[in-house]
Amino acid sequence: MEGYVVSNLVVLAVVIGIAYTVRVVRKSRFWTESFRELARRRPIALLAIAVYVTLGLADAVSWVGSGEGREGVAAHQPRSLIDRVFPDDFQERSYSAPLADFEFYGGAPLKNPGEHLLGTDILGRDVFHLTMKGARVALLIGGLTSLIVIPLALLFGMSAGYFGGRIDDAVFFLISTLASIPNLLLLIALILVLGRGPVQVCVAMGVTSWVGFARVVRGETFKLRELDYVQAARALGASEARIVLRHILPNLMHLVVITFVLLFSGTVLSEAILAFLGIGIDGSWGQMIDQARDELARDPIIAWNLLASSTALFGLILSVNMVGDAIRDILDPRTLRENL
């Protein structure tokens, strides 16, 4: 199956997942009121995240068009919705400043004078176009890594906290072993083994990032298994699996939501660090920042590539962190008791 077909199917699955989540939230009074409170506290941050998500999904939806594509690419090459917003011949020969009519070096006239909102890079690619496409990579890194980390942490953390004994000893030994290895070195080693593709990098980051949340889940499960309703369910003959899924897991969901939000921003920043070390993902903001290092040494300085990617990265991380802080305040049991 073609890669762009898989990408389109993933986008469809994400849209269905979002629609299903909205439906579930609307049926729950608690989550509905929590979302309304979140929208009241952080409307601008939520709007910014919605814009990033829209850009990411738009760049993930692609299909094969007719005629010649950008840079002479044949018609059988798929192009995304964002690619189709820009003209086919939008690439210049080299650098051009934002909204300039001539090349930054040499002064040759541009093919598209005054149309490059954020200028072009050394290859003549539109920086605004590249910045918009970076949203898909950032969402993939943060979202996929979080979806790997959270199930792993829940599996090991709940197993150790609920069953205890030898299972707890084995899980604690695994956690202690991974925690004793420098995280960055382990991450780089896994990427070199698995490869530098987006999915491989997400898997490597997920494998090295679940330990912290697993410890939190383990400690919380220790407390939950001793509560009266869990003891009552056990006395009534409920199976261990049913108790874990029906009574333990739902009471950990507030931690899951908070961890997802905070882990998202951490993994996106981690990719920027990896890009600085030369093992980032193609098309990411981290790679744009890494490529801009040499541009700052030019005379005169080329700054718009760095400013565009850094601003986009800063805007996403700030919005996610603001939403995460608000979610933590809303779902914190102490805060809930104070509001009652």
Select from 124, 140, 173 the last residue of a domain: 124
Q: Where are the alpha helices (DSSP H) in the chain?
A: 3-27, 29-41, 43-60, 81-85, 127-163, 165-179, 183-194, 198-207, 211-224, 228-235, 240-243, 253-276, 285-295, 304-331, 333-339
Cα 171 from Cα 219, distance rounded (Å): 13
Whether residue 168 sits in one domain with residue 98: no
Whether residue 232 sits in one domain with residue 93: no
| Domain contains 71 | no
Cα 19 from Cα 69, distance rounded (Å): 34
In contact, 226 and 247? CB cutoff 8 Å: no
Whether residue 253 sits in one domain with residue 195: yes
Q: What is the mean pLDDT of each run of 10 residues along the chain (340 residues)?
A: 68 82 81 86 92 91 64 63 84 88 86 89 90 90 89 92 88 88 86 85 89 91 86 84 86 85 86 80 86 80 88 92 85 54
Residue 93 domain boundaries: 87-124
| Domain contains 35 | no
State pLDDT tens for residues 64-87. Answer: 865 444 444 445 678 888 988 888
This prediction's pTM: 0.85
Give me the pLDDT at residue 237, please: 83
- The CA-atom distances, in angstroms, between 230 and each of 221, 223, 246, 262 are 11, 10, 10, 29
Whether residue 133 sits in one domain with residue 108: no
Whether residue 295 sits in one domain with residue 251: yes
Provide the domain count of the chain: 2
Give me the pLDDT at residue 337, please: 46
| Domain contains 41 | no
State pLDDT tens for residues 180-215. Answer: 888 888 888 888 888 888 888 888 998 888 998 999
Q: Residue 115: which of 102, 133, 130, 132 has the closest Cα?
A: 102
Give CA torsion, residues 36, 42, 43, 49, to 10 deg. Answer: -110
Indicate the SS3 state at residue 24.
helix
| Domain contains 138 | yes
Whether residue 257 sits in one domain with residue 142: yes
| Domain contains 5 | no
Indicate the SS3 state at residue 283.
coil
Give me the pLDDT at residue 88, please: 75
Instruction: Look at the block and give the residue holding tokens 């989540």.
Output: 21
Whether residue 220 sits in one domain with residue 95: no
Give me the pLDDT at residue 335, please: 53
Residue type, 200: Q
Give me the pLDDT at residue 76, please: 64
Give CA torsion, residues 301, 304, 307, 311, to 10 deg. Answer: 180
Whether residue 234 sits in one domain with residue 315: yes
In contact, 94 and 122? CB cutoff 8 Å: yes
- The CA-atom distances, in angstroms, between 255 and each of 94, 155, 265, 291, 307 are 48, 14, 16, 37, 35
The CATH number of the domain where 217 resides is what? 1.10.3720.10
| Domain contains 260 | yes
Cα 98 from Cα 82, distance rounded (Å): 19
| Domain contains 305 | yes
| Domain contains 202 | yes
Q: Residue 140: which of 148, 152, 128, 129 has the closest Cα?
A: 148
Q: Is 116 exposed, middle or buried (0-12, 13-18, 19+ CB in 10 A)?
A: buried
Whether residue 295 sits in one domain with residue 170: yes
Whether residue 97 sits in one domain with residue 194: no
Whether residue 173 sits in one domain with residue 118: no
Whether residue 298 sits in one domain with residue 178: yes
Tokens matching residue 119: 């200028």
